[in-house]
Amino acid sequence: MISVLIVAASPLARSGLENLLVSRKVAIAGGVANLNDLDHRLDDVPADVILVDSTGEPLETCLDMLNASGIASDFSIVVLVEPASLATSSVALREGVRAVLPNDVSPEQLVAALQAAANGLLVLHPAQVAAQVHSNGFVPPRSPLRAEVSEALTPRESEVLQMLASGLGNKEIAAKLAISEHTVKFHVASILGKLGAATRTEAVSLGIRRGLVLL
């Protein structure tokens, strides 16, 4: 079993990632809000991989902090970024980061990338491969890293997902929306199916990383 230390500015994002990884038998070495908080943690809390969620900040800022800390030379680093940053993320790989992945990567692929990084492997997203080889006139076949949401959430489902993220139970959601608990359960089941989540906690985590939940 690998051990992962999570760096994420949002407490909700940290909690979501922790729950997601624990449910897939990944040990959590701890969680901090930013890279500066790692200064006195790494000696006391051994970790195989450091997972950095850079959502909401420029990739360059995250890289500057990684370079300043020097941890990439001693630890395997995996960084989650906004999907739009993937094509320009090759600089992160040159700086020693083991993987740069979109923040909406599926749980299974995230765990696979963490395991690969823990074993000293470099993980490349198809968008990064395309950026590297496009100049040679070769366009790799489309092979998405994950399946997209099969169907968009309805406005009501988006409301329910936001309330789930706020920690509300079915009865509280039903009261706020003036609907029955049975209807709430129906909406929750639909949300899980569309997001490919097994639990409510995982649905919230995926919703956060796909920009469906407002923090």
The answer to whether position 144 is within a domain reads no
In a domain, 97, yes or no: yes
d(CA 90, CA 161) in angstroms, rounded, equals 34
Tell whether 128 and 93 lie within a shared domain.
yes
> Would 148 be classed as within a structural domain?
no
Q: Are residues 71 and 123 located together in one domain of the fold?
A: yes
Would residue 175 count as lying in a domain?
Answer: yes
What is the number of structural domains in the chain? 2
- Going by the DSSP 8-state scheme, the letter that residue 123 receives in this structure is B
Q: What are 90's two structure tokens? A: 């090759």
Position 83 in a domain: yes
Same domain for 115 and 11, yes or no, is: yes
Joined together, the tokens standing for residue 56 give 């909401």
Asked if residue 171 and residue 73 are part of one domain, the reply reads no
pLDDT tens by residue, 77-114: 999 988 877 766 777 777 778 888 888 888 888 999 99
CATH of residue 200 = 1.10.10.10
Question: Once rounded to an integer, what is the mean pLDDT over residues 43-64?
Answer: 83
Residues 81 and 169 grouped into a single domain: no
3-state helix, strand and coil shares in percent for the chain, rounded to the nearest 5: 50, 15, 35
212 pLDDT above the threshold of 80: yes
In a domain, 149, yes or no: no
Residue 102 within a domain? yes
pTM for this structure?
Answer: 0.64
28 and 111 together in one domain: yes
Domain of 185, in residue numbers: 155-209
Residue 128 or residue 79, greater confidence: 79
Residue 127 and residue 63 share a domain: yes
pLDDT in tens, 187-211: 998 888 888 888 888 888 888 878 7
- Nearest-angstrom CA–CA distance, 157 and 152: 9
Residue 120 confidence (pLDDT) above 70: yes
pLDDT for 88 equals 65
Among 30, 28, 31, 26, CA closest to 1 = 26
